[in-house]
Chains A and B, each alone.
Chain A
Amino acid sequence: MRDLFLSNCEKNFIQKIVSEGHRLDGRNYNESRKLNITFGSDYGSCIVTLGETKVLAQVTCEVVQPKQIRPNEGILYINVEISPMAAPQFEANRQTDLLVYMNRLLEKCYKDSKCIDLESLCIVVEEKVWSIRVDVKVINHDGNLVECASIATLSSLAHFKRPDITRSGDSVIIHTLSEKDPIPTVLFHYPVCSTFAIYNSDILLSDPNFLEESVCTSSTEEESNINGGLLVVGMNQYKEVCLLDLTGAAIYNTNIVHKAIMNAADKCKDIVDLVKKLIASDDNLRQKRVKINFSDIITTEHKMSLCKKDLNIKLKNYNVDNITKIDDSDEEMEKNCMEISKYDVVSAAIQHTAEMFSKKGGSKWIEISSDSDED
């Protein structure tokens, strides 16, 4: 299937509300979506959910011959896959720009920042080393893939344990998990990427969703969009920058990068703390022989998805809870309310995001116009 294109009015609307200080889902500029990390039954498998974006990561290891130039170092290999499961526009087994871009960013963030102790992966110099392979699979693409994939890579690497080995003379024995306790991977530091969408060359949106991402990188009708772009900052828990990547526009002032780094520093620290905490509690559970399985992510929360979960839009004065109250006041409203209940309508704490008018004359359309819209 061909790529999805956004209409001009969609782009203009997003541009406009962002410049007025709002986001479509009611978040602040610096707010991220809900982050959730679940581990599977194997070591080094996890699913990371960021809002609706879902990424699966699995770490596997095998014994291989080391590279000629680095005979005493193990190998880290990162592989990203985007199947049609992520979104219908992707084709199976095809190298897209997005795929290459993500692969490179993750390699920069985890391989080139030297966060893994590759020398500890050596078994016999020049003969046998562990090769660690991280498979990152995008399950659902709703924007900010880089951040979600980087959290998934980090959590799976930190969660992973490789089998223990014994060397006796020339032979190497690899013990199974039941024979000897496996060894965790040594991480010197924990880098995490965070994405910022740049709007009008001075507004930074953290954790942009699919719509915000595509609007800020695409061009509008009159002028080509020279002011928007995506900025990826990779930082570790010590607030050191590991990666900086800009797609889209040129930046006029350095302040914006500085601002992004300041924002990312706190955010990355929080994420790393969360990852560490979850891995510790997961380890505890495993020691108590509690079975951990991905089937735990099956919930009943999507039962309501057909009525409200699909679209997350926050409107000014409307709340799911007070819909029933409006119902008895106005018959005309009732029709509209039925329509509204399709969306997750939550009253936004911030001021006017968008307003709704109920039209007389049986029109079922919901008119959404922003406050300062004069025409």
Chain B
Amino acid sequence: MDVDESQLKDFKLKPMKCEFNVLSKSDGSAILSQGETVVIVSVNGPLDIKMQSQSIEKATLEVLCCSKGGKPCVADRYKENIIKQTCDAALLSNQYPRTGITITVQELEDCGGLLPCSLNCACLALINSGLAMRCVFAAVTCVVDEQGDIVLGPSKEQLDTARAVLNFVFDSRDKSLMTGFTEGSFSEDTYKEAMERCRVASDLVFAFYRDIVKQYSKIIA
């Protein structure tokens, strides 16, 4: 990929704030704000589940997304599906056969980029729960605006006016793509360029994870 190096360095994501252990009854929980979008995630598991949903090879992962108000809708199911597939790939679920792991995502504020924020928060909650993981993951969003420029960490207005919205999830080990989902139309080259930029930007998210875990593990140790 011939992406200008200087362009890659010149980016910033929305400010992130996180707190672990917000819920006393869950095995792991985290609240994360990315810009003005806020999400709270709880992880319970491994738990005892019904016989018919047990799997002898691996833990059964269940994801539940709740919007803030109104009835549950198809959009929630879509989010659940993406979070489930991503977490399934990251978790070492064969370590916990015949059990269940539940991830519950509750939206608190949605000012754009709810799904990437939920994914990052789910990852933090999984770290907090202490479940065995193959890798951690970071979700990064970018948009292709009217002029065809790629903007990382878009604001709500940018998201509304964008020609395309591209989301990527990378793993922490070799920064390979785990999940990708897009909206709108774009060329193949734009896709590749956006992916490269997001890959570099994911470093910021991983650095943030490391920072948070460091803060908490200092106290554990």
Residues of A within 8 A of B (CB): 1-2, 40-42, 45, 47, 52, 54, 56, 58-60, 81, 83-88, 92-93, 133, 135, 137, 139-142, 291, 293-295, 297-300, 302-307, 309-310
Chain B residues with CB under 8 Å of A87's CB are 25-26
Q: How many residues of B contact A (CB 8 A)?
A: 39
Residues of B within 8 A of A (CB): 17-27, 31, 33, 36, 38, 40, 42, 44, 47-49, 62, 64, 66, 68-70, 72, 100, 102, 104, 106, 108-109, 111, 215-216, 219-220
Supply 16 A–B pairs (Cβ within 8 Å), ascending by A: A1-B48, A1-B100, A40-B109, A83-B66, A85-B26, A85-B104, A88-B25, A92-B104, A133-B70, A139-B23, A139-B106, A140-B23, A142-B25, A297-B31, A298-B18, A302-B20
Chain A residues with CB under 8 Å of B44's CB are 1, 84, 88
Chain B residues with CB under 8 Å of A60's CB are 69-70
A303 to B44, CA, bound (A): 20
| Closest Cβ neighbor of A41 among chain B residues | B109
A295 lies within 8 A of B26 (CB): no
B160 to chain A, nearest CB (A): 14
Chain B residues with CB under 8 Å of A302's CB are 19-22
Query: Which of A41, A87, A135, A139 has the most B CB atoms < 10 Å from its CB?
Result: A139
B219 lies within 8 A of A310 (CB): no
Contact of B21 among A1, A41, A142, A305 (CB under 8 A): A305
When A and B form their complex, which 9 residue pairs have the shortest distance between CB atoms, in order from nearest?
Answer: A295-B33, A58-B69, A85-B104, A88-B44, A305-B21, A60-B69, A294-B108, A87-B25, A85-B42
Chain A residues with CB under 8 Å of B64's CB are 83-85, 92
Chain B residues with CB under 8 Å of A52's CB are 24-25
B106 lies within 8 A of A56 (CB): yes
Chain A residues with CB under 8 Å of B219's CB are 303-304, 306-307
Chain A residues with CB under 8 Å of B23's CB are 54, 85, 139-140
Chain B residues with CB under 8 Å of A93's CB are 72
B77 to chain A, nearest CB (A): 12
Chain A residues with CB under 8 Å of B18's CB are 298
Chain B residues with CB under 8 Å of A88's CB are 25-27, 44, 47, 102
Chain A residues with CB under 8 Å of B62's CB are 92
| Closest Cβ neighbor of A311 among chain B residues | B24
B107 to chain A, nearest CB (A): 9
B7 to chain A, nearest CB (A): 30
| Closest Cβ neighbor of A304 among chain B residues | B219
A309 to B216, CA, bound (A): 14
B104 lies within 8 A of A306 (CB): no
Contact of A294 among B72, B109, B220 (CB under 8 A): B109
Chain B residues with CB under 8 Å of A306's CB are 21, 216, 219-220
B48 lies within 8 A of A135 (CB): no
A42 to B33, CA, bound (A): 16
A86 to B102, CA, bound (A): 12
Contact of A295 among B36, B42, B68 (CB under 8 A): B36
A140 to B104, CA, bound (A): 12
A155 to chain B, nearest CB (A): 15
B66 lies within 8 A of A1 (CB): no
A295 to B34, CA, bound (A): 9
Contact of B42 among A84, A92, A291, A298 (CB under 8 A): A84
B90 to chain A, nearest CB (A): 20
Q: 6 new A-B pairs (CB below 8 Å) besides A85-B66, A302-B19?
A: A45-B68, A85-B23, A88-B47, A92-B62, A140-B22, A304-B219
A101 to chain B, nearest CB (A): 19
Chain B residues with CB under 8 Å of A45's CB are 68-69
Contact of B17 among A2, A85, A298 (CB under 8 A): A298
A137 lies within 8 A of B66 (CB): yes
A304 to B20, CA, bound (A): 10
A297 to B49, CA, bound (A): 33
Contact of A293 among B22, B69, B106, B109 (CB under 8 A): B109
Query: Which of A59, A88, A133, A293 has the most B CB atoms < 10 Å from its CB?
Result: A88
Contact of A141 among B25, B47, B49 (CB under 8 A): B25
Contact of A86 among B17, B25, B38, B69 (CB under 8 A): B25
| Closest Cβ neighbor of A312 among chain B residues | B24
Contact of B36 among A41, A83, A137 (CB under 8 A): A41
A193 to B107, CA, bound (A): 27
A24 to chain B, nearest CB (A): 15
| Closest Cβ neighbor of A54 among chain B residues | B23
A58 to B108, CA, bound (A): 10
B70 lies within 8 A of A84 (CB): no
Chain B residues with CB under 8 Å of A140's CB are 22-26
A98 to B218, CA, bound (A): 40
A47 to B25, CA, bound (A): 17
| Closest Cβ neighbor of B32 among chain A residues | A298
Contact of A83 among B48, B106, B109 (CB under 8 A): B106
A351 to chain B, nearest CB (A): 28
A98 to chain B, nearest CB (A): 14
Given A56-B106, A85-B23, A88-B27: A303 and B215 interface contact (C-beta under 8 Å): yes
